[in-house]
Amino acid sequence: MQLAQLPHEGNRSPAHDLHTYRHLIDSETAFKSDVLFAGGVPVGAPEAARAACKRAATKYGNYVQLLASCPLDYTYKCVVFMYCARPQAMLSHFIRAVRPSLTIEAAKIADDLFFDALAAAWKCDPSEFSRDDPGKWGSRRQAQLALRDGGGAFAALEHTRPAAFLGSFADCLPSLLLIPGTPAAPVLTLLRHPDLWSQPAAPATLSEVASAWGTLTALPTFKKMKKNRINSAVYRALSQGSAEPTASAAAAATSPSTPVCASLRALARGQAAS
């Protein structure tokens, strides 16, 4: 058994500090104050969460290497790589639930280990899929494209982090806005004013939501989503505040530079942003 109390920003009252009552608890019960796991993802001190994500990425690399070396037929092995073993399939819960600044190293590790394993499975030179691409083949970049664009659907975890985190926050926002009680009032006020999320005093999570919004809407390909059958609902949600087509809409619709609560609610439950 163990007790966990995560780090607290600011001064915590002794009455609210579990260590105050340590003498009342048996010595065999461990106290954790850096990180705990909820739903399989780390929550807690930033550096501890970052390290936990990197350990998960390394463990993922061991799994895909086992797949690469297993005696499965080449064709079936490729199918497993595409649908079950790509980084998004096995590590998306990390990039959805952990702030992007804490998953960047883990995402790069996972992407690199995936392509190392893919090269081993295909019995080709690993440098063909390396991040540096010394032969200028572009094989890695092409493999990361969607199937409809001639790729292998092995999307880079590194590049999908902001959209995944933004989509996850959007899913949670309607529930967060229903938190009852007076103690929640300051949080609710902050949640209802996204223009404050990028201010220096804003909590790190909201600051990174605002940053993820800016990253996504500033992409050169963002406006192309409007004409894409799969992504058009995401474009409408972010630019119009509704995922449904509207008669008045859309030619002039543009996405604000800061998040809009109505737009985030429109993304909720669909998980479309990831």
The pLDDT profile of the chain, 274 residues, written as one tens digit per residue, is: 777 777 665 667 888 888 788 888 888 888 877 888 888 999 988 999 999 999 999 999 999 999 999 999 988 998 999 889 999 999 999 999 999 999 999 999 999 999 999 999 999 888 889 888 877 778 999 999 888 889 888 999 999 999 999 999 999 999 999 988 888 898 899 999 999 999 998 999 999 999 999 998 888 888 788 787 777 877 777 776 666 665 544 444 555 677 888 788 877 755 443 4
Q: What is the pLDDT of residue 21?
A: 85
Per-residue CA distances from 26 to 1, 4, 11, 34, 35 (Å): 10, 15, 26, 20, 21
Integer Cα distance of 42 and 183 in angstroms: 25
Q: What is the pLDDT of residue 243?
A: 61
- Output phi, psi for 45, to 5 deg: -60, 135
- Sequence-distant (6+) residues with CB within 8 A of 247 are none
Residue 198 C-beta-side C-alpha neighbours within 13 Å: 11
Q: What is the pLDDT of residue 33?
A: 79
Q: What is the pLDDT of residue 196?
A: 92
pTM: predicted TM-score of the whole model, two decimal places: 0.84
Q: Residue 19 is encoded by which pair of tokens?
A: 């260590």
Q: What is the pLDDT of residue 269?
A: 54
Element (H, E) at 41: strand 41-44
Taking phi over 0 as left and psi of -120 to 50 as alpha, with beta for the rest, 44 belongs to left
Q: What is the pLDDT of residue 184?
A: 87
Q: What is the pLDDT of residue 251?
A: 43
Q: What is the pLDDT of residue 16?
A: 80
**8 Å CB contact between 175 and 265:** no
